[in-house]
Amino acid sequence: MTRWAMVADLERCVGCQTCTAACKHANATSPAVQWRKVLDIEAGSYPEVSRTFVPVGCQHCADPPCLDVCPSTATRKRADGIVTIDYDICIGCAYCAVACPYQARFKVDAPRFAYGEVATRNEVERFDPDRLGVAQKCTFCVERIDAGLAGGLVPGMDPAATPACANACIASALHFGDLDDPESNVSRLLREQRHFRMHEELGTGPGFYYLYADRTSDPAPEAAADPASQTPAPTRAKGIAPALQSHWDWRAAGNFMGGGAGTGLLVAFGLASLVAMPHRLIGLAALALVATGLFLVWLEIGRPWRFLNVLRHPQRSWMTREALVAAFLFPLGALGLWYGHPALVGAAAITGLGFLYCQARILTAARGIPAWRVPAIVPLIVSTGLAEGAGLFLALGALLQPPAAATTLVAGALLALVVLRALAWLGYRAALARDGAPTATLDALGRVSPWLWLPGTALPVPILAAGLVTADFVPWLWLGGLAAFAAGWVLKLVLITRAAFNQGFALAHTPARGAGPAGPPVKPGWTFRPAAVVPH
Amino acid sequence: MGAKPRTERTVSTYCYQCVAGPDLLQVRLEDGVATEVRPNFDAADVHPAGGKACVKAFGLVQKAYNPHRILRPMKRTNPKKGRNEDPGFVPISWDEALDLIAAKLQAARAAGLTDEAGYPRVAASFGGGGTPTAYMGTLPAFLAAWGPVDMSFGSGQGVKCYHSEHLYGELWHRAFTVSPDTPLCEYLVSFGANVEASGGVCGVKRHADARKRGMKRVQIEPHLSVTGACSAEWIPIKPKTDAAFMFAMIHVLLHEHAREFLDGVFLKRHTSSPYLIGPHGYFLRDAGTRKPLVWDLAAGRAVAFDVPGTDPALDGEFTADGIEVGPDRETWSHAGVRVRPAFAHLVTHVKDYSPEWAAPICDVPAATIRRVANEFLDHARIGETITIEGRELPFRPVAISLGKTVNNGWGGYECCWARTLLACLVGALEVPGGTLGTTVRLNRPADNRWSSVTPGPDGFMHYPMNPTEKETWVSRPPVRSAHRTLVPLVANSAWSQALGPTHLAWMMQGEDFEHLPQATPPDVWFVYRTNPAISFWDTEAVGAAMARFPFVVCFAYTRDETNHVADVLLPDCTDLEGLQLLRIGGTKYVEQFWDHQGFALRDQAVPAQGEARDFTWIATELAHRTGLLAPYNEAINRGAAGIRLSGEGYDFSLAPAQAHGVEEIWDAVCRAASAELTDGAESQGLAWFREHGFRVKPFPRLQWYLYPRVVEQGLRFELPYQERLTRIGHELGHRLHEQGITWWDRQLEEYEPLPKWRDLAGLWEDALARHFSVRIEDYPFWLITARSMQYSWGGNVGLQMIREVADNVAGHGSVVMNAAAAARLGIGDGDLVEVRSPLNHTQGRVMVCEGIRPDTLLMIGQFDHWATPFAKDLGAPSMNALVPMMLELTDATGSSADLVKVKITPMGRAA
């Protein structure tokens, strides 16, 4: 077997970006698209400061999160470990981009040139319309590897069969080769030198290794740093610390808001129909909300007319599964509303529940976003979706006057859901605190927290409880419902567009250079807080 | 990828956009369009960095196709010049452009090659540390045919170069620039030498290999540069105090260790350490032979330094007879005078320069300074040898390298002296593992360093000083920088004009320098691959001076801040479009140490865009239209294109009377190159080079080291005692005073036999405060700069891709500031600030970080463009407008250092 991998020697790398430039030439990437680049990471506090240059790009993981999530099967992994993208079937949903913990994926929706509107001659020559609106990333220069192998060359040894970045590296810091060959250049380097992989704890199995030197036999400087001073300072962390993901904007959030509230409303409708069939417009509104959410996300994808490709990956992609569930949800909902049959309505509601669950799992599968990938987000997304729907049911009830029994049932359910959501929120934030999260994520969640507690919980709970106890408060149930619903939408808008900071970059060790010990780990922009002191 | 190209091929060429080149590379062409730059792996076994090309080379594709290029000759229609004047350039034909220039040249020639002030009527400025010659084809032949040309209008020299190192380096060890013997070095102390940014592919590769080998590099500099980042240790030193650190290192070696720990053999046999010093501070000489005397411990008497079999004393005081020879041959005779060897004077000289003395000056703990000194000594392996190509040489794997601002301007002498002396103390000068020179530019011949080693006075190497004796002193400057008049060390080679005090040429355009001829503007000024209106210091003053030049011809890539004052713009071929053969290999600048030497072809990879023309065509046309075809062709035949066209057994000379085509000229050059490399056996021409790209023969590694050559000739390194320079300095003072010139007196103080510590920070502060009548306390920060590998010398600031990749390297385009200092002033990351020196101000966004001293600000590279397309929209700050050109801040070599005191004012919050 063959497993192609890149080895970057952090003791050698000088951050010159020759690999970055060579990659841009070899792959004709658009301005600001860098399949390969070198980070410049500072750590420590003056005067005990280190600065490390770290080549990054697609890590060609053994267990690539991008592959699991891809709904179209455009992302694949070859037997030799290279993760590829088929531009012809990619729908440009960017799910892979948020799933990648290495920020390795790009999407360019419109032609972009070095000097504005008009392409230079080389840009005209290399322009590839197939790459517009789809995901793109480092391929390990797979064409060179394949052509080289066909010609009897050895990738990593023969330049014609070696990725452009490794060829270009002027410090001999980048090495490419076959991990499965114990005699290969990369196997030898890994055998002989200390190394780590980035974000090893995420279990992605990167095919990208970092050599770091540790020459502890050398005496340390006499002014050995106080361990506290070795705590990485976050001073210069731009481009290194977690950044707000930009791939999914309000349109994607709209899918979680519309889909969550819509399916929740459908469930509330189904629940109510157990005692008395509510006004059909409520059910229609539920379907319309889900449809609107899906329409919004359709607006966001880079290749909208390939949308049916979303159905190609039911084996692993929760996005495919969401789409498949939607394919049942709408006919069942339509039939239920048309015939007014509680069984059909119930079936639609159960499908809605499934859709809601898929949405939650879409987020957990996005392993590139710490705020999303925690399993504790599932009960939060499900409970808030249901609470939004029940709340909306009550709010719409002010206009559409559902039967009193149905209202009471839904109000009771909402009361329970609001409490459950509050518990899920606590559990979610505790999980983030336990596992660690980008500081900016925690800050964003801290800012949205009052919404959860005040309009989301403190306002609806007494109204709902009072409404259940005395009829005097029934006319006010719409307010409790609306508050619970609104808080849920604010929460999801924030989760998708404000709290969704990516993994950022981190080093398990900073390298020695020529002499001295290796340095401590660097993970700028992250906070680990004991659960007990998490602000609610 | 897009559609598969119909045709595909590669062309071998080179990139020599910076002094660390040339890098050999290949260009991939798809359907005739250059799309990709790749290393030239055909040269993997020949090139010291395996045929790799640096990041700047990858900008060449965009450089060729940049839509902002000037692609037709243009002439100015607005006679008024200045930053705020629209030049009103209109396209003209090549014929009209060349006729226009030829007419101006003819008029200048008719009026006399030099003007009434004695200065050449034609001037030319080329940038990039001499690299434009790798692109200007046969222009040097035209300049040679023309006669005197003033090349002293600087474009960055002095303040942006290793100026003191160039001059003192060449004097002491044929080192226009200095390099560690990186492949063998084990301990390197680097005072701000930013080799990872400015060392090119060879420097980067050699140092990366050295790190893997375990070479410890200690980087001493105010900010954590990319080189500091890649070093074992960073010591943040206060700007411009490096000499104190090195003086303290010398103190530790001389006062805290027994003599046997130093390399006594090297000091006694290969330096002037044992030379006895007379009461007037000059060597005590034998009255008859005038040879310097040493005290022979074996014989117990003073003998001439070159008497074999002696055991010369380094320490002690002795009674001897002899004479001293001072300035202007003044002679003192001594009988029974008490004298000490130069080394003993040195020991006394550094007695007070202890680490404890240096610590507060440098803001570095004394223990750190002492440890570095001791580690330096510990790693020196004194007594060990190594065999290089069958020759046993001392092996001393320790070195010291100096960076810009350390090795130029005031303090440059002290630092260069201390560095070279430290090497001598442990026998590590010009030996394997130690401190080496790279190339010669002032000494002759320049084909390699060994050839330039010839005997001079007192057992030292010859050095081509500008004369200071009454009869021969050059009292009337031949060019506007007055380099030969003021700076004996700058010599008189083809390179000397480009060194020297080039800012004086600009200053004299606006100020009267008493008792020198009033400087005139040149009748015609040629500008190629340089933009002094951005790259010099006090750019506003430089821009204003050039606006007064009557006729300016700029070879223009795009519009820029200098060609804004041009009368004619000529579009020449860029790197990938022109044709030229270049000498490669041997030892060259920075870290270019090859095991081969030969030639590489810059082949025409893509057709000339628009109406751009090959430089050789332009030069030939100029020669033709000025009636200089014959001397022009003869200059090419003599070697102005890089190689003599005739030699033993071959003659490819061009017929002098006719104009030759570009390919015809370079075919002849290629044939001569083939013949030279094969001792006349082969004569393949352009076609062969086009097929193979380059041609080399072995270069002996032994010639990396000057030591064998110096020893072979029985010569010594002229250290530690600067007797010759002291005498010359006094003579220069006499000459200047005889002519009434007193404004160079401060510079004369630098001529000391053993340099004393000067409070350089105070010198800067006092000068600025006095000159601008400011309270210097209001300017609490030192502003410094650093080279950018992505931009330096490249003329590539208008290239989008370069900007894109450079932005990955922290600090580009920003005012880099210490986080705590920023917090104290309420400045946050990304905030807009004004940085103001007593002279001028600039604006930029702050990048806060930990890797810089709290009293220092950093601006990488040179920006502040206002005319160059793309670059003018970058909003990147630059220190160049903030650094004043001042005589007071000019050292004896004619350079200053790139630093100034500034204050910083918040202007707006981060976007």
B823 and A CB contact within 8 Å: no
Beta bridge partners of A42: A51
Query: Stretch B724-749: mean pLDDT, rounded?
Result: 98
**Are B638 and B671 in contact, with CB atoms under 8 Å apart?**
no
- Region of residue B414 (left: phi > 0; alpha: psi -120 to 50; beta: else): alpha
Nearest CA to B764 among B704, B711, B839?
B839
A344 plus A209 within the same structural domain? no
| Residue A504 maps to a domain | no
B828 and A CB contact within 8 Å: no
Assign residue A488 the CATH number of its domain: 1.20.1630.10
A179 plus A111 within the same structural domain? yes
B185 plus B235 within the same structural domain? yes
Name chain B contacts of A11, Cβ cutoff 8 Å. Answer: 208, 211-212
Query: Quick one: tokens of B462?
Result: 């010859």
Domain tally for chain A?
Answer: 2
| Residue B370 maps to a domain | yes
Assign residue A132 the CATH number of its domain: 3.30.70.20
A250-273 vs A404-435: helix axis angle to the nearest 10? 140
Query: Quick one: tokens of B816?
Result: 């880099």
Please give the span between the terminal C-alpha atoms of chain A, in angstroms, as a whole number.
Answer: 51
Radius of gyration in angstroms for the set of CA atoms belonging to chain B, rounded to a whole number: 27
| Residue B74 maps to a domain | no
Name chain A contacts of B821, Cβ cutoff 8 Å. Answer: none
* Residue B123 pLDDT greater than 70, yes or no: yes
A263 plus A181 within the same structural domain? no
A303 plus A207 within the same structural domain? no
| Residue B381 maps to a domain | yes
Any alpha helices (H) in B626-704, and if so which ranges? Answer: 629-635, 662-677, 686-692
pLDDT confidence of residue A78: 98
3-class DSSP state of B535: helix
B248 plus B338 within the same structural domain? yes
DSSP string, B869-895: TTGGGS----SGGGS---GGG--TTS-
| Residue A517 maps to a domain | no
- Region of residue B788 (left: phi > 0; alpha: psi -120 to 50; beta: else): beta
| B480-539 pLDDT, tens digit each | 999 999 999 999 998 999 887 999 999 999 888 999 998 899 999 999 999 999 999 999
Query: With an 8 Å Cβ cutoff, are A21 and B55 in contact?
Result: yes
**Are B410 and B377 in contact, with CB atoms under 8 Å apart?**
no
Query: With an 8 Å Cβ cutoff, are A172 and B208 in contact?
Result: yes
| Residue A526 maps to a domain | no
B344 and A CB contact within 8 Å: no
pLDDT confidence of residue A220: 42
**174-203 of B, contacting A, C-beta below 8 A:** 196, 201
- Phi/psi for A40 (5° steps) reads -120, 100
* Residue B450 pLDDT greater than 70, yes or no: yes
Query: With an 8 Å Cβ cutoff, are A126 and B1 in contact?
Result: yes
| Residue A431 maps to a domain | yes
Host domain of residue A282: 250-497
B714 plus B792 within the same structural domain? no
| Residue A237 maps to a domain | no
| Residue A505 maps to a domain | no
| B277-324 pLDDT, tens digit each | 999 999 999 999 999 999 999 999 999 999 999 999 999 999 999 999
A159 plus A55 within the same structural domain? yes
| Residue B269 maps to a domain | yes
* Residue A536 pLDDT greater than 50, yes or no: no
| B546-588 pLDDT, tens digit each | 999 999 999 999 999 999 999 999 999 999 999 999 999 999 9
B724 plus B783 within the same structural domain? no
A203 plus A257 within the same structural domain? no
Name chain A contacts of B201, Cβ cutoff 8 Å. Answer: 170
* Residue A402 pLDDT greater than 90, yes or no: no
B730 plus B827 within the same structural domain? no
B795 plus B724 within the same structural domain? no
* Residue A535 pLDDT greater than 80, yes or no: no
Q: How does the average pLDDT of chain B come out, rounded?
A: 96
| Residue B834 maps to a domain | yes
**Are B158 and B408 in contact, with CB atoms under 8 Å apart?**
yes
A100 plus A150 within the same structural domain? yes
Strands B331-341 and B318-325: antiparallel
* Residue A218 pLDDT greater than 80, yes or no: no
* Residue A161 pLDDT greater than 90, yes or no: yes
B368 and A CB contact within 8 Å: yes
The partner residue sitting opposite B849, judged by closest CB among A114, A164, A236, is A236
B474 and A CB contact within 8 Å: no
Assign 3-state DSSP to chain B and report helix, strand, coil percentages, each to 5: 35, 20, 45
Strands B841-849 and B814-818: parallel
**Are B247 and B414 in contact, with CB atoms under 8 Å apart?**
yes
B714 plus B797 within the same structural domain? no
Query: Quick one: tokens of B121?
Result: 């009527």
**209-228 of B, contacting A, C-beta below 8 A:** 209-217, 224, 226, 228
Query: Quick one: tokens of B866?
Result: 């206002």
The partner residue sitting opposite A37, judged by closest CB among B1, B371, B808, is B808
Query: With an 8 Å Cβ cutoff, are A115 and B68 in contact?
Result: yes
**Are B44 and B37 in contact, with CB atoms under 8 Å apart?**
no
Query: With an 8 Å Cβ cutoff, are B820 and A39 in contact?
Result: no
**Are A64 and A204 in contact, with CB atoms under 8 Å apart?**
yes
B326 plus B240 within the same structural domain? yes
Residue B792 vs residues A301, B16, B19, B20, B160: alpha-carbon distances, Å:
42, 12, 9, 10, 11
Host domain of residue B843: 760-908
3-class DSSP state of B43: helix
Mutate: best of B213, B363, B809, partner A, most A CBs <10 A: B809
Q: State pTM to two decimals.
A: 0.96
A178 plus A298 within the same structural domain? no
Q: How far is B41 from chain A (nearest CA, A)?
A: 8
pLDDT confidence of residue A102: 98
Query: Stretch A512-534: mean pLDDT, rounded?
Result: 78
Using CA coordinates, name the residue in chain A closest to B228: A51
Name chain A contacts of B797, Cβ cutoff 8 Å. Answer: none
How many other β-carbons are positioned within 10 Å of the β-carbon of residue B824?
10
Buried b / exposed e over A350-360, threshold 16 CB at 10 Å, is: bbbbbbbbbbb
Q: How confident is the model at residue A528 (pLDDT cuts 50, 70, 90)?
A: low
Q: How far apart are CA A478 and CA A394, in angstroms?
A: 5
Assign residue B889 the CATH number of its domain: 2.40.40.20
- For residues B848, B853, B857 and B858, what is the CA-based torsion angle, rounded to 10 degrees? -80
Domain tally for chain B?
Answer: 2
In one letter, which amino acid is B612?
Answer: A
* Residue A231 pLDDT greater than 60, yes or no: no
Q: How far apart are CA B296 and CA B301, in angstroms?
A: 5
Query: With an 8 Å Cβ cutoff, are B819 and A46 in contact?
Result: yes
Three-class HEC string of A296-312: HHHHHCCCHHHHHHHHH
Q: How far is B206 from chain A (nearest CA, A)?
A: 8
B728 plus B781 within the same structural domain? no
pLDDT confidence of residue A325: 98
User: Can you say how many angstroms the Cα of residue A515 is from the centroid of all Cα atoms in its chain?
Assistant: 39
Please give the span between the terminal C-alpha atoms of chain B, in angstroms, as a whole number.
Answer: 37
B716 plus B810 within the same structural domain? no
Query: With an 8 Å Cβ cutoff, are A22 and B849 in contact?
Result: no
Nearest CA to B180 among B191, B168, B167, B170?
B191
DSSP string, A212-256: -B-BTTSPPPSSPPPGGGGSPP-TT-TTTS--B--SS-HHHHHHH
* Residue A534 pLDDT greater than 80, yes or no: no
Q: How confident is the model at residue A530 (pLDDT cuts 50, 70, 90)?
A: very low
Query: Stretch B166-187: mean pLDDT, rounded?
Result: 98
* Residue A234 pLDDT greater than 60, yes or no: no
What lies within 8 Å, CB to CB, of A357 at 6+ separation is A378, A382
In one letter, which amino acid is B481?
Answer: S
| Residue A245 maps to a domain | no
Q: Tell me what ipTM this predicted complex has.
A: 0.97
- Phi/psi for B453 (5° steps) reads -85, 105
**Are B312 and B341 in contact, with CB atoms under 8 Å apart?**
yes
Assign residue B305 the CATH number of its domain: 3.40.228.10
Residue A327 vs residues A26, A127, A300, A301, A348: alpha-carbon distances, Å:
42, 37, 20, 19, 11
Name chain A contacts of B231, Cβ cutoff 8 Å. Answer: 513-514
Let me know if B135 is exposed, middle or buried by CB neighbors in 10 A (0-12, 13-18, 19+).
Answer: buried
| Residue A39 maps to a domain | yes
What lies within 8 Å, CB to CB, of A307 at 6+ separation is A91, A298, A301
| Residue B311 maps to a domain | yes
Q: How far apart are CA B910 and CA B369, in angstroms?
A: 40
Nearest CA to B16 among B138, B133, B158, B126?
B133
Q: How confident is the model at residue A473 (pLDDT cuts 50, 70, 90)?
A: confident
**269-288 of B, contacting A, C-beta below 8 A:** none
CB pairs under 8 A between A and B: 228
| Residue B556 maps to a domain | no
